[in-house]
Amino acid sequence: MGEGCRTRYPIVLVHGLLGFVRLPGHSYWNGIDVALRRRGVAVYPVRLSGVHDNEALGAQLLERIAAIRDASGAPRVNLLGHSQGGLSACYAAARRPDWVASVTTVATPNHGSEVADRLRGRRERLLARGIEGLARLMERLECAEPGLCLPLDGPASLLALTSAGMAAFNARYPQGLPGSWGGEGTGEVDGVRYYSWSGILPARDDAAVGFDPGHALCRQLARCFVREAGQNDGLVGRFSSHLGKVIRSDYPFDHLDVINRCGGRREGAADPLGVYLEHLARLAEAGL
């Protein structure tokens, strides 16, 4: 891939729940940002609150986009969000479509997560506050913009990711949503292109998985699924992730593999990094 893969507009990478840009010895995007830059593309991983509701995160993202537009001179950006980061991107695009060329959601619970549904209950507030405390700890370890403290709201974050929370969000921001369960949505709304992709847990005998604590956690959380049992990545259901033009929703990736956490242990069609590079070429071909 060379000049033909350079996008017209910068790529903005938006992390998900409990996300960050860079901790000591570890990057959230696991080399994805580096690989995209090697193709000559301007890439901006942004930092938002580790836990909050979709609209609060989206408002923070709009502030980041404004700064990127000023710094780069680009009138628009391509938003690529992992998990809840995709919802932040959808909000930003709905509010300022003139600033956004495309939205790509990656393993995003566009119709809610059955895991979030299951976690609601008598210990919900305790769990939410625990997640909030973890987010604050990670914030203190953040190497990008050290010392920056952002507002956190664990209970609001958990509610926002439930099926009910997403139904309310989607009623306000329906851009790109499928008209029927498991279908595709409109690929372009208000001049913004919408794409999505996601994965499902690979077979247990997949030798490329090996022992991975993150993968083991995804398998445990997959037990929460009923509607999409066997069709989820451990945190997000395959069909719940559909938005706009669906690139593919059954890649053999768990929820962390999809941001290249498997670190090159996969090859060919099952290589997460390759999926991002293919999408880079797709955006470039579309003139974005």
Q: Which residues are tagged catalytic? A: 83, 233, 255
224 with 115: CB under 8 angstroms? yes
Distance (Å, whole) CA 155 – CA 136: 14
From the number of C-beta atoms within 10 Å of its C-beta (0-12, 13-18, 19+), residue 112 rates as: buried
Q: Which residues contact 48 (CB under 8 A, 6 or more apart)?
A: 14, 15, 19, 57, 60, 61, 64, 85, 88, 150
CA-based torsion, 280, 58, 47, 53: positive or negative: negative
Nearest partner of 155 among 172, 132, 178, judged by Cα: 132
